[in-house]
Amino acid sequence: MEQRAYVYEDRARPDILRMIPPDGTVIGTVGCGTAATEAVLVQQGRVVHGVDVAAQAIQKAKTRLTSARVVAADDRAVFPDASLDGLILADVIEHMPLAWESLAAYTKAVRPGGWVVISVPNMRNLKVLSRFIIGGDWPEEPTGIFDATHLQVMSKRRLVRWCSRAGLRIEKWYDLYLSNRWKRTTLQVLDALTLRLAHTWWLMELQLQARKQ
């Protein structure tokens, strides 16, 4: 069977940009893709260095970032230690084997007091409940929670544990429901009506901003 190339979306992500703290000039981004999101930070005057495993995506990223280069999938020392004020890991660590070790390695590049923003798919939600727990199937889809290239099953508790092991103190969580306006509103209402007791079940992504201790 022919293997399809991974599809990189070439659009800025407001959900990632809202998590970026105002402090910090030198920023690294792992799995930057075409760097449409990070390009906004460069336009703001920040220095942004990106890495990705896809050469074609990096060619585009080079036109948008301070620097961009291809790295091997198993390369964990992609930036020098304590060289960054901030690090972006936007929907990337769930694609990695032993991802908790990669997270700990990547955060070594952040100086003490610097920030890290992380976004991963929330695999403890209603869609997974319907398709996997009830339906008994885990499909291989090109994008989304069932992305065929995902290697890790992500949950809030697991992400919290990984951050602790990496020396990160979580400062803030961000809610990301479905992107469709009406579905998003419905889920927000349901979340409120259930007093947020089942909060993570309604979320599409787990997103946080943390500080390096």
Asked whether residue 109 is assigned to any structural domain, the reply reads yes
**pTM score:** 0.94
Amino acid, res. 115: W
Any domain includes 3: no
What number of other Cβ atoms are within 10 A of residue 65's Cβ? Answer: 25
For residue 117, being part of any structural domain is answered with yes
pLDDT in tens, 115-174: 999 999 999 998 999 999 999 999 999 989 999 999 999 999 999 999 999 999 999 999
Question: Into how many domains does the chain fold?
Answer: 1
Question: Which domain CATH number covers 73?
Answer: 3.40.50.150
pLDDT, position 93: 98
Confidence of residue 8 (pLDDT cuts 50, 70, 90): confident
Q: Does residue 86 lie in a domain region? A: yes
Nearest in space to 60 (alpha carbons), one of 88, 35, 89: 35
- Please list, in sequence order, all residues whose beta carbon lies within 8 angstroms of the beta carbon of residue 163, skipping any fewer than 6 positions away: 103, 118, 169, 170, 208, 210
Is 114 a member of any domain?
A: yes
pLDDT for 180: 81
In a domain, 64, yes or no: yes
Contact yes or no for 107/84 (Cβ under 8 A): no
Domain assignment present for residue 104? The answer is: yes
In a domain, 58, yes or no: yes
Domain of residue 85 covers 14-122+150-177+206-212
3-state helix, strand, coil in the chain (%, to 5): 30, 25, 45
Quote the tokens at residue 72: 């091997």
The rounded distance, in Å, linking the Cα atoms of 48 and 12 is: 15
Going through 31-150 in order, the beta strands assigned E by DSSP cover: 47-52, 67-70, 84-90, 110-121
* Cβ atoms of 209 and 17 closer than 8 Å: no
State the average pLDDT over residues 93-108: 98
Q: What is the percent of the chain where pLDDT is above 70? A: 97
pLDDT, tens digit (0-9, with 9 covering 90-100), for 32-49: 999 999 999 999 999 999
Compute the distance between CA of residue 117 and CA of residue 212 in angstroms, rounded to an integer: 11
